Amino acid sequence: MAKPDKARTTAVALITDVMENAKLLSDLTFGPKFLALSSAERARAQRLATECLRTIERADRILNTYLQKKPPIRILNILRLATFELSTGGDAHGVVNDAVTIAAMDRKHAMFKGLVNAVLRKVAKSGPEQWAKLRAARIPIWLRRPLKEVYGGEVISAIERVQSNIPPVDLTPKDPNRAEEIASLLSGEVVLGQSVRLNAPGQISKLYGFDRGEWWVQDAAAALPVRLLGDTRGRTALDLCAAPGGKTLQLAALGATVTAIDVSERRLKRLTQNLERTGLNADIKVMDLFALQEGQFDVIVLDAPCSATGTMRRHPDLPYAKDGSEFLNLIELQRKMLRHALGLLAPNGRLVYCTCSLLPDEGEAQVEALITENVQIEIDPGTFQHPNVDPTWVVDDLGLRLRPDYLAEQGGMDGFFITLLHKKG
C-alpha cells in the first residue's frame, strides 16, 4: 500500500488532538513528530488542520447526508479533512486514496476504510456545489450567547462571516515609513496606516525582505497598541507577557531600550530568532512578571493572558480547545497583573494595557475598576488621538474596542481592547 501524504496524515492527528484532548494547535506544533517533518510539510499540515477546523460545521452538514451514524472521532476527522479538500478544489483521486490509506493505518479503524471510500466518492461529486451554499460557521454557544448580549445578533453574524474565511497575513515593517514601499513590492496593501496586508503570501520565508529582517508577521490590530505610544526613542520600555514578541520588536525598532519578560522559554525562542533576523536588540528574561520587583520604566506594555476570543479568525481551534471555564481565573489574573505592572512604572510613565479578547470583563471593566480605585492613574488622551484610530472604536472613553468584523472587506482584524494609561508624577 502506498504511503499517504505526510501533511494529510499529520493534519488528521492534529485535528483529533484538538477535538479529543482540547489541545491548542500552537502547542501541538512544538511536538517532536510535527517538528520531524520538513518545513514545507509542517506548513501544509498546519494549514490543512487550521482550515478544516475553521470549516467543520460545513463539512459535517455535507457528511450528515451520507452517514447514518457518526464513526469514531479519528475516522470522522479523516472524512472532515477530505470533505474540506474535495469541496475546495482538491484532487479527488489523491484525496480519497489518502483518506482510505490513513483510515487503514490504525488497526482499530481499518474496518472503516470501505465507509471512507464510499462516502468520499459521493462527496467528490456533490461537495463543491453544496459547499458554496452553506452558511458561515457559528461561534460556539458557550461564547456566542455572552457576546450576543454585548454586541447584538447582527454584529455577531458579521464576525462569523469574517471568521469563516482564510485571514490575510499582516506584516509590521521595521521602518514604518517604508510600509507603502513594502506593500508595493509584495503586491499587498497598507492597513491601519503602517501594517502591510497580504491576501496570498505563499511561503513567508521566501518573501522579499524576510532574510534582511525588514518586517515580521503581526496582525494589524496587535500592532496598534505600541503605535499609540508614539515616539519612544531613548525610553526604557518593559514588555510583559512578551512572547511571541511582535510588540518587543516594535519597541526596539522605535529606539527604546527594551526588557522583554515571559514565563515561556519555548515561546520566547521565536522572539530571539526575530531579533537576530531583524538586527534589533532587547534584554530577554524568562520569568514570571510577579517576580520582577524592581525597576521604574518609562513605558510598559501589558498584553495580558486572556480568553483569546478575539483571535478565532486566525485560530479556529480555540472553540474546540476551550469552554469558557477558565474565564474567571483569567480575569482575576489580569487584575493582579495590571496593578503589579503599574508599580513598575515610573512617575509620568505610560502603560499600554491590552487583551485579544471580545469580552468587556477582560478589557473595559478592568480599566474602569482601576481608575475608580487609583487616583494616580488616568487614561492618556493619546489613546484616542492616533491618526489611524476610527472614532467609532472608542468605547466609554475607556479605550479602543476592535472587532473582527472591522475592515471586513479587507479581511477583518483580530478583536482587541486597548487603552493607554498615564501615571501622574
Euclidean distance between CA atoms 141 and 119, whole angstroms: 29
CB 400 within 8 A of CB 389: yes
Distance (Å) of CA 291 to CA 64, 155, 261, 272: 53, 41, 10, 22
Active site residue 356: yes
Distance (Å) of CA 338 to CA 36, 117, 159: 40, 55, 29
- The C-alpha cell that represents 409 in the structure block: 472587506
Euclidean distance between CA atoms 374 and 366, whole angstroms: 12
330 φ, ψ (degrees, to nearest 5):
-65, -40
Say which residues have a Cβ less than 8 Å from residue 277's Cβ, sequence separation at least 6. Answer: 210, 211, 213, 216
Apex CA 330: angle with CA 354 and CA 402, to 5°? 30
Considering the candidates 52, 241, 306, 356, report the single residue annotated as catalytic. Answer: 356
b/e 373-403 (16+ beta carbons within 10 angstroms → b)? eeeebebbeebbebeebeeebeeeebbbbbb
Distance (Å) of CA 315 to CA 46, 96, 308: 11, 27, 9
Apex CA 46: angle with CA 303 and CA 59, to 5°? 105
CB 229 within 8 A of CB 151: no
Residues labelled as active-site residues: 356
